[in-house]
Chains A and B, each alone.
Chain A
Amino acid sequence: MSVSVQTEDFDVPAFYEALKADAPQIGAIVTFTGLVREFNDDTSVEALFLEHYPGMTEQVLEGLIDEAAKRWPIINATIVHRVGELRPSDQIVFVGVNSAHRDAAFAAAEYLMDILKTKAPFWKREQRPEGDKWLDAKASDEKRATRWH
């Protein structure tokens, strides 16, 4: 189980190889990579800035992996989230899970992303020429997370 909160970019193939090398009983690897989307309807946004609660963030992410491992027979999981300044097309988050079979790996990866989005203490701020703006949480993300309760 591995959790990292970092400013540097990350290497998805390296995470995939690590999940693949874990054990001979692995039959499925599911990975998700989130990218910074083009800034919606607003071209005046110059960049995104990601802030987090150091210490608590890592604890929450480790707790999510523990919970996923109770719910599904996963063998290993990796969560990496970037903080600091990010631009469109930058990689922002990685979730990877391995398991004997695909159903557990798919479900656990989706669970980790859904709960990360509503529970892990990260905040996004848009950097604009006229002044920065903190993004509001989305009701649709909250709704999506409730299906795992």
Chain B
Amino acid sequence: MSTIKILYFAKLRDQLDCAEEAFELATENCSVAELKQALAERGESWQNALNGAQVLVAVNQVMATADTQISANDEVGFFPPVTGG
């Protein structure tokens, strides 16, 4: 089993009521899309929050895509479009 760290920011954190968690991958590696699918199985609020077209993902603090691979000890951040400046 591979443990990863997942961080949620801004509106997404509020919707999910979760800022940070340790998560066990079911397999040694998985893609961002597969991780989202696994999290969405937790229920409707997770499905709605994570499957919106507007959710961005970073793996190890670098912007990622649905195909980006995740493995043990990686840090995955989910967040909405940015609004700084």
Contacts and interface: CB of A to CB of B under 8 A. Distances in A.
A117 B14 contact: no
Interface residues of A, number: 28
A53 B79 contact: yes
Interface stretch (B4-12, B30-38, B39-47, B65-73): B4-12
Contacts of A53: 7, 9, 58, 61, 77, 79
B82 interface: yes
Interface size class of chain B, counting residues whose CB lies under 8 Å from the partner chain: 10 to 19
A93 interface: yes
B18 to A, nearest CB: 15
Interface of A: 34, 50-53, 55-56, 59, 81, 92-93, 113, 116-125, 134-138, 141
Interface of B: 7, 9-11, 14, 54, 58, 61-63, 77, 79-85
